[in-house]
């Protein structure tokens, strides 16, 4: 239960008002305690509809964008989902309520370790957090039902699209690293890939390699 019911109620209302209509997505957003994923100093603002800073100069995404991307993925209970950009682990937690397994990759060891510990403590047992560069080397073998990129990419790598099952969906913010990107949804169809541009967003950039930390 939340310590601040009115704020959480506004949180749900705001998501609905902005067009999130799938009940399962709204329920997942209600169940995942965002206050556990933000910096201690930001707890009071956890249910505002804005991105917030986390360690390593990165951000936890705006709740509306998390809900929107989740809804656009059209998740099923048996899906295997791959996320690039674990950050706080919040998006992974929301996804995990609606699918079978989440594999999420992060290039900062501090963030990957932090998210792994936080998710375990909160009882999310169907999420695997991997340290690495998700664009260079998606972990494991086999394909994914869904892929979600939560850092800005200038184009969708072909190697990533090739890891989608037939009928699979990828969603990613595509555009310049610093500026406005467009959320793009790519569906793998019989004859290739179908691409749809959704809404404008702002994400921190996807960068190559495991991050060097001081």
Residues at the contact surface with ligand SAH, assessed by CB under 6 A: 58-61, 84-85, 87-88, 90-91, 105-108, 111, 133-135, 150-151, 204, 206-207
> Which of 36, 126, 40 has its CA nearest to residue 83?
126
**Concatenated DSSP letters for 75-104?**
--TT-EEEEE--TTSHHHHHHHTTSSEEEE
C-alpha span between 161 and 165 (Å, rounded):
9
Task: For residue 103, list its beta bridge partners.
Answer: 82, 128
Given the residues 55, 61, 96, 159, the one annotated as active site:
61
Supply the minimum distance, in Å, between the C-beta of residue 7 and ligand SAH: 19
Output 32 or 191, the one with its CB closest to ligand SAH: 32
Output 108 or 164, the one with its CB closest to ligand SAH: 108
**Concatenated DSSP letters for 19-58?**
T---HHHHHHHHHS-GGGTS-GGGGGGTTSSS-EE-GGG-
C-alpha span between 151 and 178 (Å, rounded):
11
68 phi/psi in degrees, rounded to 5: -65, -45
Is 164 exposed, middle or buried (CB count within 10 Å of its CB: 0-12, 13-18, 19+)?
Answer: buried
In the residue annotation, 88 being an active-site residue is answered as no
Q: Point out the residues that are catalytic.
A: 61
């Amino acid at each position: 239960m939340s310590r601040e019911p009115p704020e959480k109620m506004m949180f749900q209302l705001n998501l609905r008002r902005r067009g999130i209509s799938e009940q399962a997505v709204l329920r997942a957003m209600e169940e995942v305690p965002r206050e556990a994923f933000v910096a201690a100093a930001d707890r009071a603002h956890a249910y505002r509809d804005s991105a917030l800073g986390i360690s390593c100069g990165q951000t936890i995404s705006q709740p509306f964008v998390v809900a929107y991307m989740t809804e656009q993925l059209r998740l099923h209970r048996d899906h295997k989902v791959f996320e690039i950009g674990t950050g706080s682990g919040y998006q992974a937690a929301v996804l995990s309520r609606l699918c079978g397994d989440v594999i999420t990759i992060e290039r900062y060891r501090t963030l990957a370790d932090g998210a792994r510990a936080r998710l375990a403590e909160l009882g999310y047992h169907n999420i695997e957090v991997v340290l690495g560069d998700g664009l260079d080397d998606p972990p494991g073998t086999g394909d994914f039902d869904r892929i979600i990129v939560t850092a800005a990419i200038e184009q969708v790598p072909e190697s990533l699209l090739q890891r989608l099952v037939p009928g699979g969906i990828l969603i990613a913010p595509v555009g310049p690293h610093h500026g406005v990107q467009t959320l793009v949804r790519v569906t793998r169809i019989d004859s290739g890939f179908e691409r749809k541009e959704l809404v404008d967003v702002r994400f921190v950039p996807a960068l190559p390699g495991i991050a060097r930390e001081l």
